[in-house]
Amino acid sequence: MLGLRFQAALKLHRMKHLVEAQRRPKSFGVVRGFIVDFSDSLLLLHRLEEDTFQINGFTAVRLKDVNAVRFFDSSTEWQRRAVECLGLRPSKPAAIRLASLHVLLTSAGQAYPLISIEIEARRPGVCFIGEVAQVSDTSLLLEELDYGGTWCGRRRIRLADITLIAFGGGYLGALALTAPKRKNGKK
């Protein structure tokens, strides 16, 4: 359960200010973006690409992995001024629900052709990209694409291992457009 102060801070900054969520362990890294939604267990950001300083896709992380959040809400911070000068405005994906990881994966799989999954504690630096084939109470079955954009079979991933979910970004969109059709006729 979220602490009341933390929950109030998330509500206050939702859809307004750029945030930086530091995660533990440190190897999980930092995610930056705009809070577009949250639940007792998940945080959904309209993600900021640092290299281009543009918002690009959505990223969900487990709140239990977040150990600090920095809100860029002061006009003295260059990040806040850059957001204003560039006219960055987050949007909330209407079809995405955060009631649980199972619900998030199901709704993202229905709304987006491809998702990216990270299991950072088990496989640091590796992401699995594909189409959601099935979600159960304990696992995700992903119809996986390899780094060359070729369908390479199904991968079962335990929900308990998933630390980050991404969808709706430019890379995943381009990959979905160019992926070859599978034997069942789907892209």
Domain boundaries, the chain: 1-92, 96-187
55-59, 123-127, 152-156, 166-170: least confident range: 123-127
Q: Which fold has domain 96-187?
A: SH3 type barrels. (2.30.30)
Percent of the chain with pLDDT over 90: 78
pLDDT at residue 2, rounded to an integer = 62
The string of pLDDT tens digits covering residues 129-143 is 999 999 999 999 999
Give residue 53's region: left, alpha or beta (phi > 0; psi -120 to 50): left
Neighbour-count burial of 148, counting CB atoms closer than 10 A to its CB (0-12 exposed, 13-18 middle, 19+ buried) = exposed
Task: Quote the CA–CA distance of 116 and 172 in Å, as a whole number.
Answer: 8
Indicate the pTM of the whole model: 0.92
Higher-confidence residue: 110 or 148? 110
| Identical fold between 1-92 and 96-187 | yes
Mention the CATH class of domain 1-92.
Answer: mainly beta
